Amino acid sequence: MTMQRIPPALKQLLEAKYVFYHQPCFIAQDPIAIPHLFLQKADREIAGLFAAVLAWGRRSSILKSCETLLRLMDFAPYDFVRHHKSTDLRPFVGFRYRTFHDIDLFYFLQFLQQHYQEHNTLEDAFVRFMSHDDETVEQALIGFHRLFFSLPHPQRTRKHLPTPERGSACKRLNMFLRWMVRRDDQGIDFGIWKKIQPRQLVCPCDVHVLRVASRLGLITGLPNWKTAVELTRKLKQLDAEDPVRFDYALFGMGVMERMI
């Protein structure tokens, strides 16, 4: 079945909106502001992962909770993750953001500590499960999910890390991967991971992106992994090597312009 081509007028619209919203001035209002607080790679990875995991609800609340969490780590996330002992976790008791509680946080810290004792980068926890020829990061996300929960863990924590294996669109993890993998000349996404290619990324599909994409005729399905891949394939008609850059256009139209 041949995929319907994106009309020229829609191409022009998305390119124009990308240029408008792909600006550093929007960083301060976005969860990506959290990893931007740091310069070192591992600090950005850890801060970015927590910012992505907590990225639902009001953006001001997301930023506040992330800053609280980092303050408890003395704004040295890698050093804390790598070297903390059980007694160092006492100040974190009672931490809560929506349904993400201290018990979930403790498991995240446990996994990250074990990982960074054996690896220099969190990229290794994703890239080991995929190949250079994979169309998308699907296998990387499935593998990471299995690896992450390979330690004894609270069952409730599983809801905070989705997987394509269960049909989830994995919006927050795809956003995290966009931050780490995608390279741009505006200094917004970091591009500090080199083993995963931007062409393999899948567009983060939150309610705003999905609503706009549906209204523009880019997708027809439900909010799930299949639809996220469908949208990404459509966006590859505009840029085969960097399709998820149009996340900026779709999200901007959905949030800033309140496009319905």
State the sign of the Cα–Cα–Cα–Cα dihedral 255, 257, 258, 260. Answer: negative
Percent of the residues in the chain that have a pLDDT greater than 90, as a whole number: 92
- For residue 7, the tally of other CB atoms under 10 A from its CB is 11
pLDDT in tens, 4-49: 899 999 999 999 999 999 999 989 999 999 999 999 999 999 999 9
For the chain, what are the domain ranges? 8-255
pTM equals 0.96
**128 CB-side CA count, 13 A:** 11
**Does position 210 have pLDDT exceeding 70, yes or no?**
yes
